[in-house]
Structure 1
Amino acid sequence: MPPSVSLPASWQYDVPTSGSTHLPPDAGYARALTNQGYGFEAAVADLIDNSIDAGADSVVVHFLRDSDRILSLLVLDNGHGMNDAELDQAMTVGRRRDYDGQALGMYGTGLKAASLSQARSLTVISRTKRSRATGRKLTAESIEDGFRCDTVEPGFAQQQIDTYDGLIEWHGTIVRWDHVRAFETVAPGQSEQFLSKAIAQLGMHLGLYLHRFLSNGLKLDIAVWDVSTGEEVDHNSVDPLDPFGYKVPGKAGYPKKFTAPVEGVGQVTLEAHIWPAKSNLAGFRQIGSIQDRQGFYFYRNDRLVQAGGWSNLRSPEGHLVLARIAVDLPSTPNEVFSLTVKKDGVEVTPAFTLGVEKATDESGTTFRAYLADAETAYREGASRSVIERAAVNEPGKGFDPKVKRAVREELPLKDDGPVRIDWVSLPDDRFFDLDRDNYVILLNRAFREDFNDGRRGGANDAPVTKTLLYLLLQDCFGLGRWERKRADRIEYWNSILLAAVHAQRERRNRLAS
């Protein structure tokens, strides 16, 4: 046992000091920035948080590609922009700016940490209504070189702004990642497949975590540009993916609002939902494992920061997969809720779980009774029979995201790859053709304007025509033998559709005259 030590009372709870020394961060801190544990989707979402804080109502995520290589990623917004001084502050490593109570930013590290965790080079170009285009470039090497930040050549900064003048007219910001690690690992010939999967996953993540903003008017798009041709080769709008977006609740009377007395915070509202059993809606099944998505959904200033989990209240259980609870975090700082730097989780103290155990709604119903209702809804739903539908190949590139989501919600999917649809040059006597080996529906480019009101369409144009053809033709892929009867069906469908498109063209010409 150590000898008894008698300390002055003032020393028991406070350690005295006798001076101080300023210790600037070591240049090796750059390596720490690249190892923050960000996933690709979470890193992009962090950039979009900055766009929203800057007042942007339109944001575009651009993948740049050249032939078969994926080159860069850009996040563009029409927010209020930054002048030289503000841009220097934003690019200063370790600097934390002041955030108002409604900001999505919190720690001041997201731009640098999120970007350098994914790419070896970060460039930010911006302009305001009152200042010219200006830019800064930061790399891990430049940080190690005495925290150096390079100034982008003014002519290039203006050229980048001019390239996106449809979005950035008077003010806005471009965040650009070059030498993206994930892109550099894509094997030759695999860029199309990589982009298709990456865009789908990114769209789902952004649609979920920003669903309240998207529902309230934020316009968010993901596009692919071919820099060699200057053409946009794919474009997808991100729609809200509401984790509480069912049409009819799994039990009458829900959702219910429970009030939890949380020491150190006060009254916390828990909006308790019960999903209908066996739902195929995207907000239930397409945001990850339904086992992992039960539990608490924490929001901070309308931004989802945790999608599921019981936060030490209990363990996930199969019979509670229909239970989801929305919790808006208090706007004032507190010791009960701690948000992770990546904004993908919330740490809570026991004060929260103790408060939840005591929560009741206005009629006196307990939170425990809610969990019992969710379990009952699950067990009753599990006993109902469901008509089995035949699996299909998922619609891929060329189909509007709303169509893709509807197919995923309504039908089971095969594992042998998506079906894509392209406008190509075909003989005059063909409305469509099939590339069965590569799972592609080929549409005759000569008729494209007929389905786009005389205008050149985008990558996901003519959604009704494309969807009808997909439904007709999806069973033509993945077959070992091409039957004569099936081939004949393709031939007479072509003849009838050609007659229809010519009739549509003649009608449009008559109306125009």
Structure 2
Amino acid sequence: MEGVENMSTKTRTVPPHASRMIEGLRDTGYEFNTAIADIIDNSIAANATLIDIKINMDFAGDVIIRIGDNGSGMDEEGLINAMTYGSSARPTPKSLGKFGLGLKTASTAFCRRLSVSTRDDELTSIQKACWDLDHVAKTNDWEILFPEPEPEEVDLLDDVSDGGSGTVVTWEKVDRLLKSYQDQTGTYAQRALDKVIEKLREHVAMVYQQYLDPIYQNITNIDIKINGEIVEPWDPFCISEPNTELVAECVQPVKFEDGRESSFSIKAYVLPRKEQFTSVEAQKQAKLSNDMQGFYVYRENRLIHHGDWMGMVRNEPHSTLLRVEFSFDYNMDDAFNVDIKKSRISLNNDLYNWIKDQFLPAPRRAANDRYRTGVKKNVTKASKGAHEDSNSNIKGREKDLQRSTFEITNPDTNEVQVTNSNGNTRITLPLVTPTREGEVFVQPVDSIDDGLLWEPALIDKHPAVRINTNHPYYHKVYVPNLSSGVTVQGMDSLLWACSQAELWTISDVTKRNLKELRYETSRLLRQLVEDLPDPELNDGSD
């Protein structure tokens, strides 16, 4: 009969191949810092206020990692649930531990033996369960072990919880953290581990900044230790700096079809330029670099993504000072498609376009203005005296190269009559005085009309060229070579020659075209150097 389900359909339970599946889940793409963060998420979800991470290398060169907390702990049933792949154990929907996979997949991405030792708030005996991948491979079964806790695990649990409830996660047989060294206990291996620990400290300071920093009074503050040292929070927005500016802010309410209501917030901060920080240490702490600009996305006050513009615009030097805080709660998880590692989100088209086209333009302009002001100041400082050799060189050849004569017909309007092989032509030329002694052939200036790179001029009646230090070509090509006299002389000679060639050949017919040629050349050079790196400039802070 139509509409009646075929009751004879065969079914069969097909469990995954234990060994192959558990080995395959090691390759879910975790980085070490992200993996440790997943363990920290579980501790925070268990209401821990102290998390103690210990990373050590034993006498044989084996790395052992233990993460202890003073959270609520688990009884035996809760422990088994937590060790189950796809666990349903999740205290609340807002929990940072979101998918029931992080503990296992994050851990076994780096180790072959994962143990969890725990004691609940009933203060029962310590329960311990263990996934040993070698044991799973041997039995080819989803079989966990229940060994006795090691003395080190008991000591850490007692220490971090002061004898109360808590949990210790232990990674042994760590085989994917360090590369192989000829001497696994030697200096090189230890240095490599030290770098791993330092990078982890920086990551934790950034990701859990709002949990670590007491200024966020609406969040339960926690302490995190790494090898006995408290992790200090790192604020990407430098809020404590007086020259940090909040340039845009929006709180957007959201109502779901099922009646739930939520919101997300977005704030744009323009950070100080290097020389505007209150101290050299504060400036270094800000980490002003290309790969630290962009969105800082927070789910339940925990950073899940940072360091780019999510495809809206490219990371560019003039946006180095711009960082945007984007915050939402667990209700928005589905809307933002939070991934399994809680390391990135994706936005729907309407929100993406609103941020890109309506929210971002004004903050980007503000950041660009502040950046360019600093660049202009520092480039002007760097250019002073850099063209002295060029002026001396051209001075010695001026008479041999002179092919035009000039008569200033109206100094008030900069009108000049140029006489060359084409006859007499009246044009307007900048008539200026030297800004430095002997600077009468090549003169750097802060700007030139229409954004030109260079223009002919008369400096103290000498045929000269003025060079725009605010043009990207000067910033990206000249500045890195200002200490090389030969290179600067070569570039100055080229631009001086271009200026003089224009004056040697100018006529009433060509004068407009020659200026247009200068404009188009300057525009092309601007585009050609766009992707060149910005030079390091003396910011005046020392």
Query: Does the TM-score normalized on the shorter chain lie above 0.5?
Result: yes
Contact 1:246–1:281 (Cα < 8 Å) also in 2:
no
Query: 1:257 Cα shift?
Result: 0.8
Residue type of the alignment partner of 2:267: E
Which residue of structure 2 aligns with residue 426 of structure 1? none
Superposition RMSD on alpha carbons, in Å? 3.2
1:284-433 to 2 correspondence within 5 Å? 290-333=289-332, 335-357=334-356, 359=358, 367-385=360-378
Contact 1:134–1:157 (Cα < 8 Å) also in 2:
no
Which residue of structure 1 aligns with residue 233 of structure 2? 240
Which residue of structure 1 aligns with residue 190 of structure 2? 192
Structure 1 distance, partners of 2:117, 2:63, is: 18
Which residue of structure 1 aligns with residue 30 of structure 2? 38
Structure 2 distance, partners of 1:375, 1:248, is: 19
Q: Deviations over 1:380-424 (max 9, x none)?
A: 122334999xxxxxxxxxxxxxxxxxxxxxxxxxxxxxxxxxxxx
Query: 1:159 Cα shift?
Result: 6.7
Residue type of the alignment partner of 2:315: P
Contact 1:249–1:255 (Cα < 8 Å) also in 2:
no
Structure 2 distance, partners of 1:287, 1:54, is: 32
Which residue of structure 1 aligns with residue 212 of structure 2? 214
Contact 2:107–2:171 (Cα < 8 Å) also in 1:
yes
1:14-163 to 2 correspondence within 5 Å? 21-27=12-18, 28-67=20-59, 69-130=61-122, 131-144=124-137, 145-153=140-148, 156=149, 160-162=153-155
Contact 2:265–2:328 (Cα < 8 Å) also in 1:
no
Q: Deviations over 1:114-157 (max 9, x none)?
A: 0000001101111113221010110223444211101112xx35
Structure 1 distance, partners of 2:181, 2:346, is: 36
**Secondary structure of 1:31's partner?**
helix
**Secondary structure of 1:304's partner?**
strand
Which residue of structure 2 aligns with residue 205 of structure 1? 203
**Secondary structure of 1:167's partner?**
helix
Which residue of structure 1 aligns with residue 415 of structure 2? none
Structure 1 distance, partners of 2:223, 2:171, is: 22
Structure 2 distance, partners of 1:281, 1:107, is: 43
Structure 2 distance, partners of 1:197, 1:136, is: 31
Contact 1:243–1:283 (Cα < 8 Å) also in 2:
no
Contact 1:83–1:132 (Cα < 8 Å) also in 2:
no
Structure 2 distance, partners of 1:323, 1:19, is: 60
Distance 1:263 1:276, change over 3 A: farther
Query: 1:160 Cα shift?
Result: 2.8
Query: 1:67 Cα shift?
Result: 4.0
Stretch deviating more after TM superposition (142-151 or 95-104): 95-104
Larger radius of gyration: 2
Structure 1 distance, partners of 2:282, 2:83, is: 36
Query: 1:330 Cα shift?
Result: 3.9
Distance 1:119 1:289, change over 3 A: farther
Distance 1:83 1:327, change over 3 A: same
Contact 1:99–1:106 (Cα < 8 Å) also in 2:
no
Distance 1:263 1:351, change over 3 A: farther
Residue type of the alignment partner of 1:211: Q
Structure 1 distance, partners of 2:231, 2:94, is: 23
Query: 1:96 Cα shift?
Result: 3.5
Which sections of structure 2, spanning at least 5 residues, go unmatched? 215-220, 383-542
Query: 1:99 Cα shift?
Result: 4.7
- Residue of 156, 166, 172 corresponding to 1:172: 166
Which residue of structure 2 aligns with residue 269 of structure 1? 265
Structure 2 distance, partners of 1:88, 1:283, is: 47
Query: 1:341 Cα shift?
Result: 1.5
Residue type of the alignment partner of 2:190: E
Structure 2 distance, partners of 1:292, 1:18, is: 56
Contact 2:247–2:363 (Cα < 8 Å) also in 1:
no
Structure 2 distance, partners of 1:301, 1:133, is: 31
Query: 1:351 Cα shift?
Result: 2.5
1:470-481 to 2 correspondence within 5 Å? none
**Secondary structure of 2:314's partner?**
coil
Query: 1:259 Cα shift?
Result: 4.8
Distance 1:163 1:53, change over 3 A: closer
Query: 1:38 Cα shift?
Result: 0.9
Tell me the number of residue pairs that the alignment of Structure 1 and Structure 2 aligns: 354
Which residue of structure 2 aligns with residue 256 of structure 1? 248
Query: 1:333 Cα shift?
Result: 4.2
Contact 1:258–1:367 (Cα < 8 Å) also in 2:
no
Contact 2:69–2:157 (Cα < 8 Å) also in 1:
no
Residue type of the alignment partner of 1:123: S
Structure 1 distance, partners of 2:253, 2:15, is: 43
Stretch deviating more after TM superposition (81-90 or 100-109): 100-109
Contact 2:336–2:348 (Cα < 8 Å) also in 1:
yes
Query: 1:295 Cα shift?
Result: 1.5
Which sections of structure 1, spanning at least 5 residues, go unmatched? 1-7, 11-16, 224-234, 360-365, 389-513
Stretch deviating more after TM superposition (369-378 or 140-149): 140-149
Query: 1:76 Cα shift?
Result: 0.7
Of all paired residues, the percent bearing the same amino acid is 26
Residue type of the alignment partner of 1:25: P
Which residue of structure 2 aligns with residue 483 of structure 1? none
**Secondary structure of 1:308's partner?**
strand
Query: 1:89 Cα shift?
Result: 0.5
Distance 1:336 1:105, change over 3 A: same
Distance 1:102 1:268, change over 3 A: closer
